[in-house]
Amino acid sequence: MFKESKGAFVSGQTMSNKIRISRTAVWKHIEGLRREGYVIVSTPSRGYSLVVAPDKLSASEIKRGINTKTIGREVQVFNAVVSTNDIAMEMGARGMQEGLVIVAESQSHGRGRLGRTWISPGNVNIYASILFRPELSPVYAPTLTMMASLATATAISKTTGLEAKIKWPNDILIGSKKVSGILTEMNAEEEMINYVVVGIGINVNMREGDVPDSLRIPATSLMECIGEKVDRTALLKQLIETIDSDYDGLKNKGIMSVVKRWRENCITLNKKVKATLPGEVITGVAEDVTQQGGLVIKMAEGHTKVIYAGDITILE
């Protein structure tokens, strides 16, 4: 109601009538908002006016107005967690339906690919994990990573106007700098996935100086790229809607619909690359990506090698 009024005063009686609660309950809600950091002024004759809203994510604001079939039917927001993926995996084990979105303002032990730490300062970025129960063989689980990276790049571009591109296997870049990464974890049997959790981290409003120099890929944030703060709630809503649409497309059109789009948006393909793998370093041209998410590298000797994990450096 405060957002609809755009700074104008709203009487307590109007709130009481619209929400169908008592005036005393209205006052209690106002006091609760003030404790959360909302600056609300009040006068006896005019009512209440929202002056400043804190930059905090809330489940109600994230869900407000989104139009989805599966993703985001349930959204849970936490102030601080060890890892959003940990919570989503636990919810998957408990039988929670797919589409659950776990969001946190900060993570104490956020994880990246290959066991790396994901830097997770509070109240500036997006840390979200989504629960899926896809009817896929476990070997095709990387398709969900591809789908999520496409959706993340699309959501960033739609929200900020920036050109976001994908670098194999799960990095989202603006220019040559990383702004987002994907971590997919699953619980599966030999031929059946029980559930998959896709974790998405986006550097939204953090400052570049907060990024460690030791990162293997130079990183930045969306704010640094456009020169102003980005509305995290708007970006997250766009991300949820895009993933929902893309997931529906995956179920109806099949794996190749995702792989084809991923190939079109990946800056790694058709480039000379260096792949740092356990125990070896190889160079060649990144020719293709398989349906299982493997990167096909053509070596100088003429033969090809498919890799599923490792660090890729684009040489030219």
pLDDT tens digits for range 255-278: 999 999 999 999 999 999 999 988
Provide the phi-psi class of 272: left if phi over 0, else alpha when psi is between -120 and 50, else beta: beta
- Contact indicator for 118, 111 with CB cutoff of 8 Å: yes
The token pair at 252 is 């109806």
- What is the pLDDT at residue 7? 74
CATH class of this structure's domain 59-265: alpha beta
- What is the pLDDT at residue 214? 55
State how far the Cα of 51 lies from the Cα of 34, in Å rounded to an integer: 11
What kind of architecture, by CATH, is found in domain 2-52? Orthogonal Bundle (1.10)
| 221 against 302, higher pLDDT | 221
Measured at the alpha carbon of residue 126, what is the angle toward residues 83 and 228, in degrees to the nearest 5? 150
pLDDT digits over 52-65, tens only? 776 789 998 899 88
The dotted CATH code for 272-314 is: 2.30.30.100
Name the percent of the chain lying above pLDDT 70: 91
- What is the pLDDT at residue 219? 86
Residue with tokens 């070896």: 280
- Contact indicator for 171, 266 with CB cutoff of 8 Å: no
Q: Residue 13 is which amino acid?
A: Q
Domain ranges within the chain, ordered by starting residue: 2-52, 59-265, 272-314
SS3 (DSSP) at 122? coil
How far is the CA of 260 from the CAs of 182, 254, 285, in angstroms? 19, 11, 19
Is pLDDT above 60 for 114? no
Measured at the alpha carbon of residue 15, what is the angle toward residues 11 and 19, in degrees to the nearest 5? 175
- What is the pLDDT at residue 33? 79
- What is the pLDDT at residue 11? 87
Range with the poorest average pLDDT among 108-117, 121-130, 304-313: 108-117
